[in-house]
Amino acid sequence: MIALAILLAVLLGFFAVRILRDSDPYFQSVLSRRGDPIQGHAIFQINCADCHGFQADGLVGPSLQAISKRKSRYGIIHQVTSGETPPMPKFQPNYQEMADLLSYLEKL
């Protein structure tokens, strides 16, 4: 009985997080835009390459090759904007810049 209650609580928490995430205006605005991977590459080179490598194959930060196979679009956006994983800084690109960066990362 307790295990069922725990499972139900976990499932409800999971769906609550999804609903909140899906209604977040930043995520909605980014995902509603068509990203330009060429612009995204430029944004990456300026803001990310010092740690993730110029080919996104890792230096101080991890390799981002095939990142879209390991993280969802929401997960990538959250990782970039949250700054929750030190030493990665919090990065707040505007909607189009994030859409462009996401488009580039999905091509890796």
User: What pLDDT was estimated at residue 43?
Assistant: 98
- The predicted pLDDT at position 7 comes to 59
The CATH homologous superfamily to which domain 2-107 belongs is: Cytochrome c-like domain (1.10.760.10)
**Token pair 């110029």: residue:** 54
**More confident of the two residues 18 and 94:** 94
Nearest to 31, CA basis, from 90, 98, 105: 98
Residue of 34, 6, 18 whose CA lies nearest to 74: 18
pTM of the predicted model as reported, rounded to 2 decimal places = 0.79
Domain definitions of the chain by residue range: 2-107
For 28-46, give the DSSP string.
Answer: HHHHTSPP-HHHHHHHHHH
What SS3 class is residue 31? helix
pLDDT at 4 (0 to 100): 63
What pLDDT is recorded for position 16? Answer: 47
pLDDT of residue 22: 60
CB within 8 A of 78, min separation 6: which ones? 84
Q: What is the pLDDT of residues 17-62, one digit of tens each?
A: 555 556 689 999 999 999 999 999 999 999 999 999 999 999 999 9
